[in-house]
């Protein structure tokens, strides 16, 4: 076998608390991260050359060493001492720079896929260590479970009892710089954190924890995000929140029918990315 296709899912943040700034410039976070079934498709082909080639169907995505999947492949070839090359073909379905973790998920898929193709037998823990150097969200996509993520995002605890729900994703396509959002966040002192429920018995329990410290920063520059949140609630969502540093907003729905009707209402007259998805 020298070729493999993997599905790299997007994520949303049910919770994103920024606890404080670290001496290394990163932030200590507490997040609850959930994968959804909107996926990029990554096809890996091992070659006899020593080159890494990346091709992608989306214009906004770099195709050489600037692509996070190129870095993931480089790391795997270096660590295993393999003398082959790899072609990485990316079909992007996840909007880029959207707060949905698309690049991180693609990188995680390349680490896991090359581990299999090259028969490296690296453990999940080792792959997560390699992934963390590429991006703080990469380990979560190797973990493959709904999780409480702490530290910069690399300390993961599974949350197995979170109920499944229907999610409507709405991305108005405005450009949000993640670096700008974190720079603009006013952190006074290390904050006290709300206690999390021990058990999530219902979708309402999920809705009760929705919170994102970055949301007010992004909304101050892009009020459209607040408009989308209220629109989702008017159309039957039981909770709504911005994901990551934005600009994607998600609504939580109890029924697929209501979510799909809301989806059609919002798509009408806009050129936004709007999709009904299910939690994984």
Nearer to ligand ATP among residue 63 and residue 129 (C-beta): 63
Out of 27, 52, 73, 106, the only residue in the binding site for ligand ATP (CB under 6 A) is 106
The number of residues that bind ligand ATP (CB under 6 A) is 21
11 is catalytic: yes
C-beta separation of 223 from 229 below 8 A: no
Nearer to ligand ATP among residue 62 and residue 223 (C-beta): 62
- Residue of 17, 137, 213, 229 marked catalytic: 137
**By CB under 6 A, residue 247 contacts ligand ATP:** no
**By CB under 6 A, residue 153 contacts ligand ATP:** no
Out of 86, 132, 137, 237, the only residue in the binding site for ligand ATP (CB under 6 A) is 137
Number of Cβ atoms within 10 Å of the Cβ of 52: 22
Convert residues 66-105 into a mask of x (bound to ligand ATP by CB under 6 A) and - (unbound). Answer: -xxx--------------------x-----xxxxxxxxx-
Cβ contacts of 6 within 8 Å, gap of 6 or more: 41, 42, 43, 44, 109, 112, 113
Q: Which residues of 68-86 are buried (b: 16+ CB within 10 A; e: fewer)?
A: bbbbbbebbbeebebebbb
Convert residues 177-216 into a mask of x (bound to ligand ATP by CB under 6 A) and - (unbound). Answer: -x--------------------------------------
**By CB under 6 A, residue 9 contacts ligand ATP:** no
145 is catalytic: no
Cβ contacts of 159 within 8 Å, gap of 6 or more: 32, 145, 146, 147, 148, 200
- Sign of torsion over alpha carbons 198, 203, 204, 206: positive
Out of 31, 36, 61, 241, the only residue in the binding site for ligand ATP (CB under 6 A) is 61
Please state the closest distance from residue 162 (CB atom) to ligand ATP, in A.
19
**By CB under 6 A, residue 62 contacts ligand ATP:** yes
Please state the closest distance from residue 268 (CB atom) to ligand ATP, in A.
26
Nearer to ligand ATP among residue 101 and residue 258 (C-beta): 101
The residues of the shown chain that bind ligand ATP, judged by CB under 6 A, are 60-62, 67-69, 90, 96-104, 106, 137, 178, 244-245
Q: Which residues are catalytic?
A: 11, 137
């Amino acid at each position: 076998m020298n070729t493999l296709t993997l599905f790299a899912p997007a994520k949303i943040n049910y919770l994103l608390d920024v606890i404080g700034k670290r001496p290394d410039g990163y932030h200590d976070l507490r997040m609850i991260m959930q994968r959804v079934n909107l996926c990029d498709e990554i096809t890996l082909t091992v070659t006899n050359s020593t080159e890494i080639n990346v091709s992608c169907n989306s214009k906004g995505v770099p195709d050489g060493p600037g692509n996070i999947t190129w870095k993931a492949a480089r790391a795997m070839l270096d660590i295993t001492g393999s003398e082959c090359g790899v072609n990485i073909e990316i079909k992007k379905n996840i909007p880029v720079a959207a707060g949905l973790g698309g690049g991180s998920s693609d990188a995680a898929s390349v680490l896991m896929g090359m581990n299999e193709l090259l028969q490296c037998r690296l453990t999940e823990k080792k792959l997560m260590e390699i992934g963390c150097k590429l991006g703080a969200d990469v380990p979560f996509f190797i973990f493959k479970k709904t999780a409480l993520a702490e530290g910069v995002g690399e300390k993961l605890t599974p949350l197995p009892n979170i109920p499944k729900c229907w999610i409507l994703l709405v991305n108005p396509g405005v450009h949000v710089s993640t670096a700008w959002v974190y720079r603009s966040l006013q952190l006074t002192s290390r904050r006290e954190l709300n206690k999390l429920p021990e058990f999530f018995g219902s979708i309402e329990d999920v809705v009760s924890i929705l919170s994102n410290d970055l949301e007010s920063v992004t909304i101050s520059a892009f009020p459209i995000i607040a408009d989308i949140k209220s629109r989702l609630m008017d159309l039957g969502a039981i909770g709504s929140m911005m994901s990551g540093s934005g600009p994607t907003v998600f609504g939580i729905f109890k029924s697929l029918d209501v979510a799909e009707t809301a989806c059609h209402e919002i798509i009408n007259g806009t050129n936004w990315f709007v999709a009904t998805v299910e939690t994984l």
